[in-house]
A = this chain, B = another copy of it.
């Protein structure tokens, strides 16, 4: 069992590389998502064992919904399989994204508001039909007609119930945020895993946590 002196309270996960992995295996691009389910389960079990209290996972974005229909169906199916598995695991699920769109799965609408007992459970945030533009623009909608000048925009964004991300781990080698929770990730330490998401192994998470342990936290100070 991994023992660390300093653990993140909230990790962000960008499980990238499913399509590239599939192509490298001679499969169709959309076949990759199915192979991302088992890694998701392994990650969850590992994070729970380690006692990390909050995890945010980039499931799909509004930009992703401009991809070919076959791919959209494939990543939505894969996610719903994962959801069905995880929703009985005594976690507090929060779905963050534009729920007014047909791309937002019906099954998830019940999770768009924080559950009452959220603080007592492991928090699992799914970014679903999410986009950073939607997230920020929701501040205008949520602020409504109230006087805004003295308000804090951060209390009104779409992802206002998601806490600051300490460590962001991205699979699939690319070194960018791709719009992942820009507000919460302002100070996040970013760790890149070279392997594609379907090749997830717990040791990759461990390496990220060991790296995070020796970073200094300054929050910009």
Instruction: Contact check, A153 vs B141: say whether CB atoms are below 8 A apart.
Output: no
Q: What size tier do the contact residues of chain A reach?
A: 35 or more
**B221 and A67 within 8 A (CB):** yes
Which residues 102-155 of A sit at the B interface, judged by CB distance below 8 A?
Answer: 131-133, 136-137, 139-141, 143, 148-149, 151-154
Closest CB in chain B relative to A9 CB, distance in Å: 16
Counting every copy of the chain, the complex holds 2
Q: Which of B182, B187, B220 contacts A64 (CB 8 A)?
A: B220
Q: Is the CB of B186 within 8 A of A182?
A: yes
Query: Complex: how many Å from CA A179 to CA B218?
Result: 12
Q: Is the CB of B178 within 8 A of A132?
A: no
By beta carbon, the residue of chain B nearest A140 is B148
Q: Which of B141, B183, B218 contacts A149 (CB 8 A)?
A: B141
Question: Interface readout for A51-95 with B: 1 if CB under 8 Å, 0 if not?
Answer: 000000000010110110000000000000000000000000000
B137 touching A140, Cβ below 8 Å: no
* A42 close to B (CB within 8 Å): no
Q: Is the interface of A mostly helix, strand, loop or mixed?
A: loop
Tell me whether B182 and A183 are in contact (CB under 8 A).
Answer: yes
Within 8 A of B (CB), among A4-48: none
Residues of A whose CB lies within 8 Å of any CB of B are 61, 63-64, 66-67, 131-133, 136-137, 139-141, 143, 148-149, 151-154, 174-179, 182-183, 185-192, 215, 218-221
A-B contact pairs, 17 of them (CB 8 A): A63-B220, A64-B220, A67-B221, A136-B183, A139-B139, A139-B153, A140-B143, A140-B148, A153-B153, A174-B189, A174-B215, A177-B190, A178-B186, A178-B218, A182-B183, A182-B186, A190-B190
